[in-house]
A and B are shown apart, each in its own frame.
Chain A
């Protein structure tokens, strides 16, 4: 890492050629007909998006972030390890973050193997996140949402055992039996690549991160909620004897940098609106398959959804979520303030969103790297340094 703050470039790799009638569909996830995927257009998009990630590496982003979703235009990365494998030989410095494949959708030994392969291939540049997976993924994969959390915990245990104990070992659990847990290769980084838990703040998931001493990346929660989750995790991790470092709390922010604030808004806001209204559009049923949430959590979220009715309002969204859109100074100031407030030095920047065209993505990546990084890296972050030591 080349400065006080670490910057990731995150990409969702959405399928942007939505049919004209897409508003007829309540969800662009799970059941949105896959006849609308055109492989010719998909081919061009994969090439374009990979080139944007490669550019981010060249420009000096510290890490590239990919993740997994199924049956949706929101993301074309149903198997993000394939994307990561394509990035490894095309990049040199950036860490490769697969944030990540839900272990529930793979055999745990096989996921441990795939991550180890990426880690060895990249000479230890891999970082991984271990998500439970959104509710939507449980409609798309043949895995029971009602037992997802137990299965998730068991999968994690198997993966960590595979990485931290000399094989062959055995595992006799509720979901899996391993008579010879002995995966080849083993990870390059010892004992294993840095791990994060990622989620939207279920207490059960925070507790898993706390117990294992993993970082936690909250996604799609408000600033206030993200702060609360970080504080809770620090407390709970301490309870298990883990002192978490600032970099274990990646702060997810949507970023767009332009010459003026007005221009930044003009070039960005429409894409952000379509991200929330179209690409992320799904139904309460798909968000919460039976048993995916506790009944209390379900009721809390249903109550929240009731309150969130109303159209897209950029100013309101900017106030409640981490959204940095403006001039290099404005973006640097916002990120600087947030990192202090959130006690983190790890900034996970979504640099492309929805149907943002290539030129804007290139512009955004370039201005971020050339104008915003120097402003932030010049700053001393004494409180964070102290916290880290």
Chain B
């Protein structure tokens, strides 16, 4: 984790691991429904922000809490973590499922979020541009669906998945199943998106195989003032494939 420092907090009984680096305005990043892609990409942000990278409960180095069965449980978790971190107002960026969580947090607690960045966010029920149901995809097929240029992801993956790697992925899929198995989309999510009034930037790769880039226009309907940028030739993990995405988000949030 390079220049990041590891901190551990106990939030309502759940051990939560947070990596931090840099100084300046706080920038919180919510990872997506898996953690193989890592946090390395966020290093440039540490030059101008205090970067805060928490692992959600049930993912990465944080502990499980099987009672988290709704995304709202994560909103409550973060309210408590941010209190522990003494974060009052901050920039918030979320990727994919983390983007959905960030948007939900911002729609409920807008006064805490200075600016919002969403990277290929999940959560939109958009029948014309349906999200790929990753729970139905065999695990070994998932990595190549995440990017257009596989090389950027390859370095984060073991050459041959060992039992620990398989177990880690199964654990994170279990966490996702608790949230999404019966109801992959929550119709109430979109109902409150209009409450997002802070400056918002949404970025997308036009070759996203998980959440079609067509959803970007659907987001615009709910957040009309959002700055939406589409990157050509990039997939779902557009921030890994294009370093200028990280730079653009940094400029926007700065």
A residues near B (Cβ < 8 Å) are 139, 142-147, 283, 285, 288-291, 293, 295-296, 298-299, 302-303
Contacts and interface: CB of A to CB of B under 8 A. Distances in A.
Given A290-B173, A295-B171, A147 B163 contact: no
A289 B163 CA distance: 16
Given A142-B182, A147-B69, A289 B177 contact: yes
15 contacts: A144-B181, A145-B177, A146-B66, A283-B138, A290-B170, A291-B173, A291-B174, A293-B170, A295-B167, A298-B166, A298-B170, A299-B164, A299-B167, A302-B163, A302-B166
B167 A290 contact: no
Residue of A143, A146, A298 contacting most chain B CB atoms (<10 Å): A146
B178 A144 contact: yes
Q: Label chain A's interface by main secondary structure.
A: helix
B124 interface: no
A295 B170 contact: yes
Contact of A285 (B139, B167, B176, B178): B139
What are the nearest 10 A-B pairs in CB distance? A290-B173, A290-B177, A291-B174, A146-B177, A144-B181, A285-B138, A146-B178, A290-B174, A299-B167, A291-B177
Interface in B144-201: 163-164, 166-167, 170-171, 173-174, 176-178, 181-182
Given A283-B138, A285-B139, A299 B178 contact: no
B5 interface: no
B135 interface: yes
A290 B34 CA distance: 13
Nearest to B64: A295
Contacts of B181: 144-146, 290-291
B84 to A, nearest CB: 27
B142 to A, nearest CB: 11
Contacts of B167: 295-296, 298-299, 302
A293 B167 CA distance: 11
A280 to B, nearest CB: 18
Interface residues of B, number: 19
A295 B178 CA distance: 14
A163 to B, nearest CB: 28
Contacts of A147: 69, 178
B69 A288 contact: no
A340 B192 CA distance: 66
A299 B136 CA distance: 20
A246 B180 CA distance: 43
A288 B170 contact: yes
Contacts of B139: 285
A298 B168 CA distance: 10
Interface string B123-151: 00000000000011011000000000000
B143 to A, nearest CB: 15
Nearest to B173: A290
Contacts of B136: 139
A285 to B, nearest CB: 5
Contacts of A146: 66, 174, 177-178, 181
Contacts of A291: 173-174, 177-178, 181
A144 B177 contact: yes
A144 B138 contact: no
Residue of B170, B177, B178 contacting most chain A CB atoms (<10 Å): B170
Contact of A303 (B135, B163, B173, B182): B163
Interface in B80-138: 135-136, 138
Contacts of A139: 136
Contact of B182 (A144, A283, A299): A144
Given A144-B177, A288-B170, A291-B177, 20 more contacts: A143-B182, A144-B178, A144-B181, A146-B174, A146-B177, A146-B178, A285-B138, A290-B135, A290-B170, A290-B174, A290-B177, A291-B174, A293-B170, A295-B174, A296-B167, A298-B166, A299-B164, A299-B166, A302-B163, A302-B167
A233 B177 CA distance: 30
A154 to B, nearest CB: 15
A296 B174 CA distance: 13
A136 to B, nearest CB: 13
Contacts of A302: 163, 166-167
Nearest to B166: A302
Contacts of B174: 146, 290-291, 295
Nearest to A303: B163
Contacts of A145: 177, 181
Nearest to B69: A147
